[in-house]
Structure 1
Amino acid sequence: MSTITESVDVHVPVSRVYNQWTQFETFPMFMEGVDEVRQVDDTHMHWVTSIGGVSREFDATITEQHPDERVAWKSTSGPAHAGVITFHRLNDGTTRVTAQMDIDPDGFAEKAADKLGVLDRRVKGDMHRFKEFIEQHGFETGGWRGDVPPPGSIA
């Protein structure tokens, strides 16, 4: 299992950055290798990705989500992975977005990509493309402000 951590400072207020991140179906616009994300309901998504010419489909569940703070998920099918995106207000107009992911590559292409640092570079590129996307748009394309408590917590 590999852990990837990447941060980027976005010159947009935290609520707008968070709102955009919750628009999962826009991920293919700035994430390399993400062909489609379909949000099934508030906490379930279906992904179609490709890496090294290999296409994969998997489902993921949001395990925790708090507006302007964090979105955590884990895969429920396909390649094993989990992660959290955190949002840190640096000032009124700047937000630090940090992605931390644990990935267990599945198959030869993914394992080779991991060993060669392709996955690290892809996440870094995705974060920078997200920064450009939200900064250039000047506004978020939508937002979901619901709260998903962590598993086992009392709501």
Structure 2
Amino acid sequence: MSTITESVEVGVPVTDAYNQWTQFETFPRFMEGVEQVRQLDDTHMHWVTKVGGVTREFDATIVEQIPDQCVSWRSDAGPDHSGKVTFDKVDARTTRVTAKMNIDPEGFVENVADKLGVLDRRVKGDLKRFKEFIEERGGRETGAWRGSVESTTEQSTAQGPSTRAGKPGAGIRPGEPGVSGLVPDDPDSGGLSPKTDPRPPL
């Protein structure tokens, strides 16, 4: 198992950077080698990756999530890896995003001599592309999940509304604890937007 740590400063407020990262199904748009991420429920995902011509599928569990602070996960089976992404406010318009990955290189890179070096460059590139992705949108995240996941020794418990990619607005009630000011948009769309946000729905 090897540990890789990389950081990038993103020119958006911490809430926008964090909100975008909670939309796991958008990961293939900026993560190299990630073919698909499917959100199964608030704490479980199914990944499809392709590295060195080899396709792998595995499930992962969100083990801790604190709004505007961090997201942590671990694989359930398949390639052995876990990670934690933290979000630190630099100023009102800048956020430092730090990814700390614990990865088994043998499980992710096939037939490459410098496996750790390849993964290190990949994580660095993913953060750079995330920066470009959110900044090019002017900080307008594609969605948000403002609930929390509290880590325990046995399992993680999700608290808050189910608003991740693929199931926007499920279970939302205005004023519900953990909603953090999110209210339904057009009832037909099932979307969400902050109550004070004048921007049109995406």
Q: Which 5+ residue runs of structure 2 have no aligned equivalent? A: 160-202
Match in the other structure for 1:54: 54
RMSD, aligned CA: 2.0
Tell me, yes or no, if the aligned pair for 2:79 and 2:108 is still in contact at 8 Å. no
Relative contact order higher in (CA < 8 Å, ≥ 6 apart):
1
Q: Which amino acid aligns with 1:79?
A: P
Q: TM-score, normalised by structure 1?
A: 0.94
Whole-Å separation in 2 of the counterparts to 1:145 and 1:57: 27
Tell me, yes or no, if the aligned pair for 2:18 and 2:67 is still in contact at 8 Å. yes
More helix by share: 1
Alignment of 1:1-155 (within 5 A): 1-107=1-107, 109-110=109-110, 112=112, 115=115, 117-138=117-138, 139-152=140-153
Judged with a 3 Å threshold, the aligned counterparts in structure 2 of structure 1 residues 28 and 7 are, in CA distance, closer, same or farther, namely same
- Give SS of 2:62's match: strand
Identity rate of aligned residues, in percent? Answer: 68
Q: Which amino acid aligns with 1:40?
A: L
Tell me, yes or no, if the aligned pair for 1:51 and 1:110 is still in contact at 8 Å. yes
Q: TM-score, normalised by structure 2?
A: 0.72
Indicate the structure (1 or 2) with the bigger Cα radius of gyration.
2
Cα displacement string for residues 90-128 of structure 1 (whole angstroms, at most 9, x for unaligned residues)? 000000000001001345944736536111101100000
Whole-Å separation in 1 of the counterparts to 2:22 and 2:113: 27
Please list every run of at least 4 consecutive aligned residues from structure 1 whose deviation after the TM superposition is greater than 2 angstroms.
105-116, 152-155
Count of aligned positions: 155
Whole-Å separation in 2 of the counterparts to 1:116 and 1:105: 6
Whole-Å separation in 2 of the counterparts to 1:107 and 1:144: 30
